[in-house]
Amino acid sequence: MMLGNEAIARGAYEAGVKVSVAYPGTPSTEISEFLVQYKDDLYCEWSPNEKVATEVAIGASVAGVRAMSCMKHVGFNVAADPAYTVSYMGVNGGLVIVVADDPGLYSSQNEQDTRMVARAAKLPVLEPSDSEEARKFMKMAFELSERFDRPFVYRTTTRLAHSQGLVKPEEREEIEDKPYVKDIRKTVMMPGNAKLRHVEIEKRNLELAEAANTLPVNRVEMRDTKVGVITSGIPYQYVREALPDASVLKLGMVNPLPRKLIEDFASKVETLYVVEELDPVIEEQVRSWGIHAVGKEIFTVQGEYSANMIRTAIAGEALDLAAPAQVPVRPPILCPGCPHRSVYYVLNKLKMHAAGDIGCYTLGAVAPLSVVDTTICMGASISSLHGMEKAKGKDYVKNWVAVIGDSTFLHTGVNSLMNMVYNKSAGTVIILDNSTTGMTGHQDHAATGKTLQGDPAYAIHIPTLCRAMGVRHVTEINAFDIEGLEKLIKEETARDELSVIITKTPCVLLSKAKKPLYAVRSEMCRKCGMCMKPGCPAMTRSADGAVHIDDTMCTGCGLCGSLCKFGAIELVKEGER
């Protein structure tokens, strides 16, 4: 039984991968976390971002070994620069870029379709439908990459990545390193060379498209010919569930498409449907060949599909379903004891706006903290704050700050801060340093002192890095020192110069030690509600205003106690924080 991501890692291991590089991103993170168990046979690392990761993998491929990089869909945008050009170069050792899409936006800022990006970059794409295929397709991807001299994109979605299914593991195949032969026409992409490579890769892609008609990665399942469905990935499972009698053309390679195979399949069925989540990538190509296919006129371009959706849209079944109950939503929230809550409490008290970034701390946008005003992409907090200042002047940003996590700062925040120094910003940047990549489940990074393989490493000192770039006012403070933090934020935002505040307090989930516990002394509680302001999920308030702390949830951060003016919240059990 393996998670899709575990099966991808297993397939990579079996394929003889020697170098794998990634930046964490839901739903792709676990691939690297599973791969590290094979570290005696291969090398894997966390890189600061997806562009770096992909370039490291390209270097390994040029040197002659099988290499891969892994990321989420928006990470592929960061890696777009090397990806578009390595497409021209081709490979020496097989090269695979694993990209995980997130239809339904379980943990993402957009719902883009990687197949579109890959098509624009002229990169071939494989897409598996379950865990066992996830394993097998990794091996196929490396074989095809070397056979056709093309880097491959390997696309998954959240539902594939985070579903478990049965897998039949095989032995690792030790692949001999390809010899490195200097050939700058293939590896130096200056205009004269790239022009010739463009001709070459168009030819290779045509060859691949031709081969796709017979490659076992694509499969025709002829059943009843009344309904024929072209599908791929997880939607294949929904089609099988909803239309067990329908004929299916299951595509494992979704770019380039096998035209002859599709034309042949279309000619054998009465009505042809294309069932694909997100954009009509297959449908538009099929229609452009003059084949009539039904697709997005009955299916959405948003969210995940389901068998029920197909039963209704294609089979025309009227489903007798109970209506869902109308209940309050339960959005994700900052954990009890999260150091971000304390910083946001102070910012909220000071009526500050924050240009936000990507991480757990994005949750500071919602009530009752309501501090974060913008969230765009990794690193954008710092650069967008700078843009506001240049648009409206220094005074305008005196009640604004940028908030960014430590991992995100090292990902792409550093260049944005460099820009602030260079272009004379007066803004205030708060680096919420919780010593980990929190949202994706606690991965190490360049400032934690440990590598993905578990080895000790030099920990980049973030304050020194900021000073070295020329930031003159850099202050470190404990996130739970609310008085000190309030004073510091007031001072730094009032200043006509750039400042960086680093709130250095580890993520509450990092330590497994017994935590302290706070409780309310009801006889001293004046029911003022002050302690409820930060919105700690461990605290509830009954109709009469009395406050209760849930002893199974409290982690003893003490924020509520430090807000109580009447000493009604006290430490009842010692522990470690």
Partner 1 sequence: MAAKNIMIVGVGGQGTLLTSRILGGLAIAGGYDVKMSEVHGMAQRGGSVVTFVRYGENVAEPIVEEGQADVIIAFEKLEALRYAHFLKKDGALIVNDWRIDPMPVVIGAAEYPEHIIEDLREHYKVYTVNATEEAKKLGNPKVFNLVVLGIAAQHMDFTEEQWYGVIERTVPPRTVEINKKAFQAGYHL
Question: Could you say whether residue 168 binds partner 1 (CB under 8 A)?
Answer: no
Joined tokens for residue 281: 């990538």
Query: How far apart, in whole angstroms, are the C-alpha atoms of residue 577 and residue 556?
Result: 7
Q: Cβ closer to partner 1: 293 or 360? A: 360
- Residues 64, 165, 256, 339: which binds partner 1 (CB under 8 A)? 165
Question: Could you say whether residue 238 binds partner 1 (CB under 8 A)?
Answer: yes
Structural contact between residues 344 and 367, judged by C-beta atoms closer than 8 angstroms:
no
DSSP 361: G
Q: Cβ closer to partner 1: 54 or 237? A: 237
Stretch that binds partner 1, among 170-178, 288-296, 439-447, 450-458 (CB under 8 A): 439-447
Question: Could you say whether residue 107 binds partner 1 (CB under 8 A)?
Answer: yes
Question: Could you say whether residue 240 binds partner 1 (CB under 8 A)?
Answer: yes
Q: Cβ closer to partner 1: 306 or 423? A: 306
Question: Can the peptide bond before residue 256 be classed as cis, meaning omega within 30 degrees of 0?
Answer: yes
Question: Could you say whether residue 334 binds partner 1 (CB under 8 A)?
Answer: yes
Bridge partner list, 433:
504
Question: Could you say whether residue 325 binds partner 1 (CB under 8 A)?
Answer: yes
Structural contact between residues 72 and 24, judged by C-beta atoms closer than 8 angstroms:
no
Report the SS3 class of residue 549.
strand
Q: Kindly calculate the radius of gyration of the chain based on its CA atoms and give it in whole angstroms.
A: 27
Task: Output the smallest distance, CB 267 to partner 1, in A.
Answer: 27
Joined tokens for residue 15: 């394929």
Query: How far apart, in whole angstroms, are the C-alpha atoms of residue 544 and residue 522?
Result: 12
Structural contact between residues 295 and 273, judged by C-beta atoms closer than 8 angstroms:
yes
Task: Output the smallest distance, CB 321 to partner 1, in A.
Answer: 5
Calculated CA dihedral for residues 435, 441, 443, 448, nearest 10 degrees: 10
Q: Cβ closer to partner 1: 106 or 422? A: 106
Question: Could you say whether residue 27 binds partner 1 (CB under 8 A)?
Answer: yes
**How far out from the chain centre does Cα 532 lie?**
32
Question: Could you say whether residue 59 binds partner 1 (CB under 8 A)?
Answer: no
Query: How far apart, in whole angstroms, are the C-alpha atoms of residue 143 and residue 200?
Result: 19
Stretch that binds partner 1, among 110-118, 238-246, 495-503, 566-574 (CB under 8 A): 238-246
Structural contact between residues 125 and 154, judged by C-beta atoms closer than 8 angstroms:
yes
Structural contact between residues 283 and 296, judged by C-beta atoms closer than 8 angstroms:
yes
Q: How many residues form the binding site for partner 1 (CB under 8 A)?
A: 55
Task: Output the smallest distance, CB 73 to partner 1, in A.
Answer: 13
Residues 6+ apart with CB under 8 A from 173: 14, 15, 16, 139
Report the SS3 class of residue 82.
helix
- Residues 20, 29, 47, 375: which binds partner 1 (CB under 8 A)? 29
Question: Could you say whether residue 106 binds partner 1 (CB under 8 A)?
Answer: yes
Report the SS3 class of residue 118.
helix
Q: Cβ closer to partner 1: 288 or 552? A: 552
Amino acid identity at 85 = T
Bridge partner list, 201:
none
- Residues 63, 215, 220, 307: which binds partner 1 (CB under 8 A)? 307
Task: Output the smallest distance, CB 36 to partner 1, in A.
Answer: 17
Joined tokens for residue 262: 């599709």
Query: How far apart, in whole angstroms, are the C-alpha atoms of residue 406 and residue 341?
Result: 16
Stretch that binds partner 1, among 115-123, 146-154, 178-186, 233-241 (CB under 8 A): 233-241
Question: Could you say whether residue 337 binds partner 1 (CB under 8 A)?
Answer: no
Stretch that binds partner 1, among 21-29, 48-56, 117-125, 468-476 (CB under 8 A): 21-29
Question: Could you say whether residue 360 binds partner 1 (CB under 8 A)?
Answer: yes
Residues from 536 through 575 that contact partner 1 (CB under 8 A): 537, 539-541, 552
Residues from 363 through 382 that contact partner 1 (CB under 8 A): 363, 366-368
Stretch that binds partner 1, among 23-31, 60-68, 111-119, 252-260 (CB under 8 A): 23-31
- Please give the residue ranges that form the binding site for partner 1 (CB under 8 A): 1, 3, 26-27, 29-30, 106-107, 130, 159, 162-166, 234, 237-238, 240-241, 306-308, 319-325, 327-335, 360, 362-363, 366-368, 439-441, 532, 535, 537, 539-541, 552
